[in-house]
Amino acid sequence: MGFEMMAAGVAYHLCFLLLVTQVQGSNFDVKAYGAKANGMTDDSKAINSAWKDACAAKEASTVVIAKGNYMVGPLKFEGPCTAPVTVKVQGTLKAPADPKRLRDDWVAFRNVEGLTVSGGGIFDGQGAIAWSVNNCAKTGKCNSLPTNLQFTKLTNSKIEGITSLNSKLFHMNILNCNNVTFQNIVINAPKNSLNTDGIHIGRSTMVNITGATIKTGDDCVSLGDGCQQINVEKVTCGPGHGISIGSLGRYHDEQPVIGVTVRNCTLTNTENGVRIKTWPASPSGVASNVNFEDIIMNNVSNPILIDQEYCPYNNCLAKVPSRVKISDVRFEGIRGTSATQVAVKIVCSRGLPCQNVFVEDINLVYNGKEGSSTSLCANVKPQVSGKVFPATCTPSA
């Protein structure tokens, strides 16, 4: 009897120690859940289990992913949670290199209020194989590959100081979020990584991007339909395709884009600068109250661009005008060098011309053999003020 009581006491003591190890100071250390962090063992189960317990905790808690290399399949950080949760990533998380091993997004944060993701860690999508099989240019379909980080239905949350590396598709996809800040973000992928938008935002309100270094193979920042009260500042972009609103008008029932500010950004050797793009033959849509301010362009193709004839794969009705209404757009304090002679191109829909486009204090220099920088406009009457070079053109229609 005494032996049984002693054994029971030892078992209780071990369970207590395990509980203390896992929950010490409201910290849920994934290594206490069995994560090996050796770069070979699949640590997905351990990390998902630590999240589940932290999400259920009655007080604010932290999931700790300490330094080390974690091989992980899909990670699902799903709420709702009982209290705010921080995911502190200090190590490197690596996705399976073979895209066939991931049927959905790689790392997903969904339906959480008061989430913080921080720690300076790295999310390595190991996307090289995926890029080699991505045939977007032929099919126009690019959505079958997993994103690195999916943020869906987050509220009052902050993502800071993390790195997304070599994603198979988009690096960070933000959907149906409200009041979320992204700060001091690093995104890194080579120029040939197809369709790897750095930060894509859709159908979200009050998203703030402040401080990001983005090198990728597509748009550094892109905004889809339904974006309202979006602020993008202190972004360094290049290589990449620039900072874009759109494309808009490809699908029915798209929501308006209203209230976007892009300011104090630097773009270097990018395929575009700041742009709004909509498809021809589109359903009705709206993009309004958009401000691009204090932007530096270093050898950028198409530094200022509104393109309502966007048709990248030549599989659209190009002769039918876009029905996305663009209005109240301001380009102000944009300066630097253009890699193409047409530094300002504002081509609006002939069926629904742009309204209230303001161009102020622009200085974009082209040093090519063709001559000085020029501008091209269609279906718009820009309102010009301050010193503007090249001189903004008279509309052709």
Tally of residues, the chain: 397
Dihedrals phi, psi of 363, to nearest 5 degrees = -145, 95
Write down the catalytic residue from 171, 200, 241, 252.
241
Distance of alpha carbon 51 from alpha carbon 154, whole angstroms: 16
Contacts of 341 (CB under 8 A, 6+ apart): 366, 368, 370, 371, 372, 373, 374
Distance of alpha carbon 35 from alpha carbon 307, whole angstroms: 49
- Do residues 307 and 347 touch, judged by C-beta distance below 8 A? yes
Q: Has 241 been annotated as catalytic?
A: yes
How many Cα neighbours within 13 Å face the side chain of 308?
A: 29
- Do residues 227 and 202 touch, judged by C-beta distance below 8 A? yes
Q: Which residue has the tokens 């229609």?
A: 397
Helix (H) or strand (E) holding 347: strand 342-347
Q: Which residue has the tokens 């390595």?
A: 124
How many Cα neighbours within 13 Å face the side chain of 293?
A: 10
- Do residues 48 and 78 touch, judged by C-beta distance below 8 A? no
Q: 50: which 2 tokens?
A: 């630590």
Q: Is 285 left (phi over 0), alpha (psi -120 to 50) or beta?
A: beta
Reduce the DSSP state of residue 218 to 3 states and report it. coil
| Residues recognised as catalytic | 241
